[in-house]
Structure 1
Amino acid sequence: MPDLGKGWTPGDLDEDWEASAEAKLETVEFDTELGIEISRDAMALARGEMTETAFHEKHHEAVFEEFGIDQRPTYETTVKAKTDDDGDALPGVPDVGGDAVPSRRGLLKTMGGLAAAGAATSMAGCLDQAVDTPASTADSDGGDVQLGMVIDTDKCIACLKCAEACKQENDTDRGSQWMHVFRYEETEYDDVSEGQMPRPCQHCSEPSCTYVCPTQSRFKREEDGIVLTDYDRCIGCKYCEVACPYGVNFLGKDEPTDKSPGFFGSDTDKNDRRVGGPPPAGVMGKCTFCVHRQDDSAQKGTTACEDDCPVDAIHFGDMNDADSQPRQYLRENRDQSRFKLLEEQGNEPNVVYLGNEPSKDATPTDGPFTYEDLGMETLADDGGDDQ
C-alpha cells in the first residue's frame, strides 16, 4: 500500500506500487496486467479524473474476456455470458443472463479442473474543519445512514486491544488483521515524536475496490453504507486488494487462530448474502464494521473494537446523524486537529481521525505492545496476505 499520511499523492502510484501490486496478484490465476491497470484507473475514477463511461469503455472488453462477466457497479448495461456463433456458452464461462451473478463455487467449477485447482490452492485518509460537518456529506443532518467512526489518536495508547477484540469477534485467519494499529516515529529538526493510528477498513463513500470487482461481490450496502464482500460471489481475483489504497484486504486461508473460539454471529445479512465472519479460503475478507451486530437488534450500533478500547478512543455510529456518538464527540473536541486518511485519493473515507496526521515520511516502529505479546501474528508487509 502507499505510504500513509499527509504528503501522499496520486503520483505515488509509481514503480514501487506497481511492483507491490504485481506481487499481490501473482499468487492467483487471473490477469495481473489487467488488475494493475484497472486498479490504477479505479483510483483515478474515485478522484474524478476519469468518467464512468471512459472507465468501462477502456476495461469492459478485457474484463469480459478474462472473467466472462462484467457486473461492476458503474456498468449499467446488463451483460450476458459470452457465447459462440450458435448461442451456446463458451467453455470456462458461467452461463448467466439478465442480472444473475454466478456463485464463486459455480464460477470456479466452470474454469476447468486445472484452473480451479490453481485458483483454490493460491487463495489459501480530513473532515472539513467545520466541526458539525458529517464525514461523507457536505451538509445534511438526515438522509441515508452512513456508518463510520471517529478515532482519537491522541487518546490511543497502542495497546492493540482493538485488534485483539476484532480477531476474537470475527475469527479471522492467522496474520489477517482487520483492525491494525500503526505505530510510528516522526523526526523534525532532530526532535523525535511518536504516534499511533488504528486502521480499520475506511468504508468509503467512493470505494474504488467495488469499481474493479467483476462479479460485484464487493459492494456498498445501501441501508447503512458498509462496504462488504459477498463470499458466495467472490472468485478471489484480488483486484479489490490492489485497488484499495488502505491495505485492508486479506485473502481467506482457513488458518484459525487460538485467539478466537470461533465465529458466533450470523454470517448472512438481511438479504441472505454471506458477508459476515471469516472468509472461506480463496475469498477476500476485511473489516465489516461487525455487520452481524448491525443486523442484530441487541447489538446494533456497536463494534467489538469500540467495546474493548480501554481509553474510549473509538466512536462508532451514523456519520450523517448530528446526534450520533461520533458526531457528538467531534463537537466536544472541536479544537482538536482532524484528518481523513489519504483524503487526496478521493475515496471519501468514513473514518475521521482526531490528532496529528502522520507525514509520508513517518517511520513504522514497534511498541509499547506487540502483536506477539498478545499471541497474534504481525501484519504482512504489503498489508494483505501473509507471505
Structure 2
Amino acid sequence: MSSDEPAPGEGPDGTDEPFHPLGESWQDELEDLLDDTEYDTELGMQMGKDAMRVTKGELSEEEFHERYHDDVMEEFGEDERPIASPDDADEGQGDSLLSKLGAGTESRREMLKKAGAGVGFASLGWGAVDQQEPEQEAVEDPSEVNPDEDATQWGMTIDLEYCDGCLSCVTACNAEHNWDLGSNWMYVLAFEDGDVESPDPDNFESHRDFNFLVRPCQHCTDAPCEKVCPTTARHTREKGGMVLTDYDVCIGCRYCQVACPYGVNYFQWEEPTVDEEELSPDMVYDYRDRRVSSRAPRGVMSKCVFDPARQDGNFGESNIGTVACEVACPPSVIQFGDKNNPNSDPSRYQENPARARVLIRLSTMLPSPDNLPSMLEGVGTDLDAITGAVDGLDEQSIMLATAVQLTNVEYDQEAPPGDTLVDQEATILEVVSILEDHGLALQSEEVLRELGLTVDQFQTPPAGSGEDSPDIVVNDREDVAQQRLEEYIPPSGNEFELLADIGTNPNVTYLGQEPGPNANQVPGPTSYEDVGMVSKRQNVLEEETVGLGPIDSS
C-alpha cells in the first residue's frame, strides 16, 4: 500500500493505539480475519481506520478517496466507491459491475426463480466477481426507474428499560431471513460494566433488574462500512435510507467488517443452511431488483437490513413500516418507523416515553369501544356508577385515558403506514368520547378532582412528603396529566445513541442504561439455547468469523 499514514493500530506518534471503538482484541481479530482472505490486510485495516476518521470530521471524503484510490485500483481493479466524485454518488454506480456478472436485460428475480437450488452469482464464492459473462446491456439506473419522493428515514427507538430479554426479536428475524445460526442480525445481551450489574439469571425478581442492549445494525446516515467498499455492494439506499449489501456485487473482502464500529457484520463462510430454492424472490430482491435481503450466499457479507421487502410492499401494504423483530416483541420495546416524521412510532416514543408506554398498555386494558356503549346501558352517569358497573373501567384507567386526551398532540404529518401508537391512541380517545357522550363530565372540575387531575392538587405537597420532596411545577391540566402518566409508568432516565461521538449518525435511539467502556456480556434470563439459537457464530464454524455482540469480544 502506498499511503504514508501510520500502520493500522498505531497512533500518529507510532505508538500502539487501537483505532476500533470495540477495543484492541476486537481489532486484532479483525486483522486475523483479513489475513485469511486473498485481499490486502494492511489496506483494509488502514481504510477502516480512516473511514472512522471521516465520520468524525477529521478527514474529508475527498481526501479519503484520493488517499486510497490507487491502492484500491491496484488491489481490486476498480474503485466504485460512491465518494469517487459528487456526480457519481448515486445508486446506479454498481451497474457496470452487475453487467459483468450477467445482470442485464433479464431480471435477476427471474434468474433466481430459474436457478432453483443452483447458483446465484455470489454463491460461487470469493472469486465469483471474476467470472466474466458475455457483455450485456447495463441495468437501468434504479434512481430513474423509481425516484425517491418521500424523505423517509427508517429507524428505531428501543426501550431497554422494559426489554425482558426474551429473544423473540432474534428468533423472528431468523425465521424471516433464514440466516445461519449465530449470524445474529438482531442480538440481545445482558451486560455489566462495573457501575451497573445484572442479577443471576436463576435468581431475580424482575426482568427490569437486568441491563440489556438490543443490537441491530444502526443503519448509520454516515456509514463507515460504505466508505471502504470497493464495489458499492455496501450502500445506502436512497429510498428509506437503509444501509444494505448487494449480494450479487459483494466480493467478500470484509473491509466493511473492519470499518463498522458496532460489530454487526457477518461473513458467510460456508454454504448457507437454507437452500436457494427455499428463498422467496419477493423477500430477496428490493424494488430496484437488487439482491439485498434474506440470508447471504457463500463468500458474502450480511447484516440486519430493516426488511426492505416489507418496506417495498412485497408482502402487502399492511407490512409497510414494520419489521419482523418489532412485530414479535411482546413488551413492544422495539418501535420501528420513519425517524423523520414526528408522528411516527419511534419519534413519538422517543419524545414522550411515559405517554407511549401508557398508550401501549392502556389500549389493551380498556373495554372495546365496540362493546362499551352496550355495557353502559342503564348505568348512571357519575364516576362511581360507571366504575362499579363496567369491567375494565376503574378510576385509574379512566384517569389515564383522560390524561391521554389532555396530552393529545395534533401533528401536521400523518402517521406512517405500519405504525401502531396512533391506533392505540385512537382507541383510548374513542373510549373517552363514549364516556362523555354517556354523560360523564370528564372536563368538569369536579370529575377532574376525583381523578386527581387538577392543578391545585399538585401545588400542595403530598402528606408525609417532607421538606426535601422535589418541587413539581405544573401550570395547567396538560402538565398535571403528564405528571400522572409519568407516575404510572416513569419516563426513561436516559436517552442515547451507540457511539454517538464517532459521528456515524446512527438511526437507532435507545432509552435506558448505556453500556460503559468496561461493559461485558453476562447470562440473561433467557439463553440463546433456550430458543434454539446460538449466541456465538464461532460455536458452529470450524473457522472463526466476527459478529458477536458489541461488548463481547470473546
- Residue type at the aligned position of 1:160: L
1:48 corresponds in structure 2 to 57
Larger RCO, structures 1/2 (Cα 8 Å, 6+ apart) = 1
Contact 1:178 1:286 in 2 (8 A): yes
* Gapped regions of structure 1 (runs ≥ 5): 1-8, 80-96, 107-115, 122-141
User: 1: distance between equivalents of 2:238 and 2:339?
Assistant: 15
Q: Identity of aligned pairs, percent?
A: 42
More helix by share: 2
CA-based RMSD of the aligned residues comes to: 3.1
2:220 corresponds in structure 1 to 204
> Are 1:237 and 2:253 counterparts?
yes
Please give the secondary structure, in 2, of the residue aligned with 1:266.
helix
**Quick one: structure 1 residues 263 and 329, their matched pair in 2 at CA, closer, same or farther if it must change by over 3 Å?**
farther
Of 357, 361, 365, the residue aligned with 2:514 is: 357
- Residue type at the aligned position of 2:237: R
Of 338, 345, 362, the residue aligned with 2:502 is: 345
CA deviation string 1:212-236 (max 9, x = no partner):
0000011101111001011111111
Of 249, 254, 269, the residue aligned with 2:271 is: 254
Of 42, 65, 80, the residue aligned with 1:71 is: 80
Of 287, 305, 308, the residue aligned with 2:328 is: 308
User: 1: distance between equivalents of 2:162 and 2:196?
Assistant: 25
Contact 2:271 2:297 in 1 (8 A): yes
Of 270, 285, 295, the residue aligned with 2:287 is: 270
Report deviation, 1:286.
0.7
- Residue type at the aligned position of 1:76: S
1:167 corresponds in structure 2 to 174
Contact 2:79 2:231 in 1 (8 A): yes
User: 1: distance between equivalents of 2:324 and 2:95?
Assistant: 35
Larger radius of gyration between Structure 1 and Structure 2: 2
Contact 2:192 2:198 in 1 (8 A): no
1:154 corresponds in structure 2 to 161
Of 332, 337, 340, the residue aligned with 1:317 is: 337
**Quick one: structure 1 residues 30 and 242, their matched pair in 2 at CA, closer, same or farther if it must change by over 3 Å?**
same
User: 2: distance between equivalents of 1:262 and 1:196?
Assistant: 34
> Are 1:367 and 2:384 counterparts?
no
1:183 corresponds in structure 2 to 190
**Quick one: structure 1 residues 211 and 189, their matched pair in 2 at CA, closer, same or farther if it must change by over 3 Å?**
closer
Contact 1:148 1:316 in 2 (8 A): yes
Report deviation, 1:187.
3.2
**Quick one: structure 1 residues 118 and 330, their matched pair in 2 at CA, closer, same or farther if it must change by over 3 Å?**
closer
| Structure 1 segments (4+ residues) deviating >3 Å | 9-18, 102-106, 116-121, 186-194, 261-265, 380-383
CA deviation string 1:344-370 (max 9, x = no partner):
111110000001111111221112111
- Residue type at the aligned position of 2:307: C
Please give the secondary structure, in 2, of the residue aligned with 1:184.
strand
**Quick one: structure 1 residues 220 and 77, their matched pair in 2 at CA, closer, same or farther if it must change by over 3 Å?**
closer
User: 2: distance between equivalents of 1:157 and 1:313?
Assistant: 9
1:76-155 paired onto structure 2 within 5 Å = 76=85, 100-102=96-98, 119=126, 144-155=151-162
Per the normalisation by structure 2, the TM-score is: 0.55
Report deviation, 1:56.
1.5
- Residue type at the aligned position of 2:334: I
1:89 corresponds in structure 2 to none
Please give the secondary structure, in 2, of the residue aligned with 1:373.
helix
- Residue type at the aligned position of 2:172: A
More strand by share: 1
Contact 2:197 2:211 in 1 (8 A): no
**Quick one: structure 1 residues 21 and 189, their matched pair in 2 at CA, closer, same or farther if it must change by over 3 Å?**
closer
**Quick one: structure 1 residues 303 and 99, their matched pair in 2 at CA, closer, same or farther if it must change by over 3 Å?**
closer
1:36 corresponds in structure 2 to 45
User: 2: distance between equivalents of 1:379 and 1:189?
Assistant: 24
The number of residues matched between the two structures is 331
User: 2: distance between equivalents of 1:43 and 1:103?
Assistant: 31
- Residue type at the aligned position of 1:174: L
Per the normalisation by structure 1, the TM-score is: 0.78
Report deviation, 1:374.
1.1
- Residue type at the aligned position of 2:96: A
Contact 1:103 1:233 in 2 (8 A): no
Please give the secondary structure, in 2, of the residue aligned with 1:307.
helix
